[in-house]
Structure 1
């Protein structure tokens, strides 16, 4: 048998129709932390992938728990970057199912080290409505909502509508004209704030001293001429940051010091 949350979650009081039960696997202590919801497209641009990873990772290091919906794309990137032990995944199906199947390993890690939540009976299969209810809970749990990329008429914009009703601040990334039309429309109508500087934005939501990676260790690692994949697996977005700063060079799949 899966466990049911046996107390009222304050953040869910904002829901118009609260679920009768909330099933869970994992660490309920994460519900007590400051929480930030991150959502977006299932097919993010490389730019979106990089900045979503940086945002989720740095917000996590700054003491915030990252909430998302477990879908491919932005959701999965956010969960992974936050660290599976500091993220809450709200499922659109019963928690006996791993959906989507492509994220089965990630979902398993989160239920073991982080927190998996579902308002549906444990063997319930996802439906259109269950995705809608999942999205509403994701928004309700977060102190704010970040949408890193979204098309018009997308599920992410439905999440924005929930955030508006709950009077939560909405943040988006700046995108080029004719890209991420949904978030660009939010900027145009003044519904969302734009994250122009990640460090400045992170400082606004810092709850604990940010745990910075040891740059010396990373540079020492780069002296071994590792592959790009090896560096990315070990140091995540630090690889991209050092490349942008001109400290390393990626050539033919290998890392070199500049």
Structure 2
């Protein structure tokens, strides 16, 4: 195991350091080692609790466990990491993978939908996934009941990617254990969480952002209003990816989410050809990880105490875009980002979707 990977894992496993914070730390300080050294002082300037950095021994134990399990690490900004996902500001700094990484070299299409899906919808999802696989695409889904399971089964012959909400070695739902083990050998399974992590409700939106972010487009086959599938669709739209939906009967509550998506502008699809036509050209718009993520330090922008007070006064309990804080403060973007980073590490900042922030608590 390399010292660089140990340092990256220490950084991301440090309490209070999330994906956005880790990315900003690496961009500012140029290496995970230098970012770790800077953590205590940044948290102190943010006026909050001391930072307890994850130990090297803890990181080495986790790296060894992943190796023993047969997993591999995918590092943001390096070659094996999913190229479209690297575009996202909140992309996981590290992913754990087991299976055929070559499946991510093909166009990635997400298929998601209801866990309590109808038999007809499952049959459609299975057939659509099979067609997409035969056309050279890789189907991505979340290894959940219903539509996810149908999509993985349909694309199993040609290769499918499952993204799990817990650890790579945790099988949820339990009835998908055999399916997930088979995908270790004939597909690919990805996880952001450490081995042994039991999935909780809060983990699924994080899982959904990976599915949406790594795919050129997301197809929703059947979904009720305010369901997790619609969250995935929203995340795909925010990422600039194609959102597609399969229409359903107005009499079926499980079709209301898809019909609403179509009414709001999602592309209506009925077969694999519709899906591939919709995502054509998006792949060329996705830059390589090196275009978006590198380790060159940013030009120094050191805020003083007056700058910190200015930024804090602009924050409140309601989420506000970072760009708006920059505009109203009149400070350099780098200075604002550093103040927000200090507050975040001190436990005084909450980050929200869409690049918004608010004061914690």
**Do these two structures clear the TM 0.5 threshold for a shared fold by scoring above it?**
yes
Aligned pairs (5 A) from 1:78-93? 78-83=151-156, 86-93=159-166
Structure ID, larger Rg = 2
Q: Which residue of 2 aligns with 1:30?
A: 103
CA distance in 1, matches of 2:242, 2:89: 19
Moved more, 136-145 or 9-18: 9-18
Q: Which residue of 2 aligns with 1:244?
A: none
- 1:4 aligned partner: 73
**Contact 1:92 1:126 (8 Å CA) reproduced:** yes
Deviation at residue 54 of structure 1 after TM alignment: 1.2
Partner of 1:186: 261
Residue number in structure 1 paired with 2:241: 168
TM-score by length of 2: 0.54
Contact 2:242-2:278 within 8 A present in 1 as well: no
> What is the DSSP-based 3-state SS (H/G/I as helix, E as strand, rest coil) of the residue aligned with 2:115?
coil
Alignment of 1:148-163 (within 5 A): 148-163=221-236
Tell me, in whole angstroms, the C-alpha distance in 2 between the residues paired with 1:48 and 1:122: 33
Tell me which moved more, 177-186 or 72-81: 177-186
Q: Do the aligned partners of residues 182 and 136 (structure 1) sit closer, same or farther apart at CA in structure 2, a change above 3 Å counting?
A: same
Quick one: distance in 1 between partners of 2:269 and 2:122? 15
Q: What is the rounded CA distance, in whole Å, between the counterparts of 2:128 and 2:272 in structure 1?
A: 9
Distance (Å, rounded) in 2 between the aligned partners of 1:137 and 1:203: 20
- Are 1:72 and 2:72 matched, yes or no? no
Q: Tell me the alpha carbon deviations over residues 27-58 of structure 1, each in whole angstroms, 9 at most, x when there is no partner.
A: 11111111100000011112211211111000
Q: Aligned-pair distance for 1:206? A: 11
- Count of matched residue positions in the alignment of Structure 1 and Structure 2: 205
1:53 maps to what in 2? 126
2:116 counterpart of 1:43: yes
Partner Cα separation in structure 2 for residue 119 and residue 63 of structure 1: 26
Moved more, 76-85 or 92-101: 76-85
Q: Kindly state the Cα deviation for residue 112 of structure 1 after the two structures are TM-superposed.
A: 1.5
TM-aligned CA deviation for residue 23 of structure 1: 0.5
Measured after TM superposition, the shift of residue 13 of structure 1 is 2.2
Matched residue SS, 1:121: coil
Q: What does the per-residue CA deviation read over 1:190-246, in whole Å, with 9 as the maximum and x for residues that have no partner?
A: 2x11124x2642663899xxxxxxxxxxxxxxxxxxxxxxxxxxxxxxxxxxxxxxx
Counterpart pick for 1:204 among 277, 285, 297: 277
Does the 8 Å CA contact 2:109/2:140 hold for their aligned counterparts? yes
CA distance in 1, matches of 2:257, 2:192: 28
Could you tell me how far 1:178 is from its partner in structure 2?
3.0
Structure 1, 11-20 or 198-207: larger mean CA deviation: 198-207
Contact (CA 8 Å) 1:63, 1:206: kept in 2 or not? no
Q: 1:200 to 1:89 in 2, by over 3 A?
A: closer
Name the structure with the higher helix share.
Answer: 2
Q: CA deviation at 1:189?
A: 2.1
Contact kept in structure 2, 1:15 and 1:137, CA below 8 Å: no
Measured on the aligned residues, the alpha-carbon RMSD in Å equals: 1.9
1:93-134 deviation line (CA, Å, top 9, x unaligned): 011111110111100000111111001111212122211110
2:168 counterpart (95, 98, 109): 95
TM-score (norm 1): 0.75
Alignment of 1:217-256 (within 5 A): none
Deviation of 1:171 after TM superposition, in Å, equals 1.1
Gaps of 5+ in 2: 1-64, 67-71, 281-361
> Which residue matches 1:19?
92
Counterparts of 1:102 and 1:24 in 2: how far apart (Å)? 21
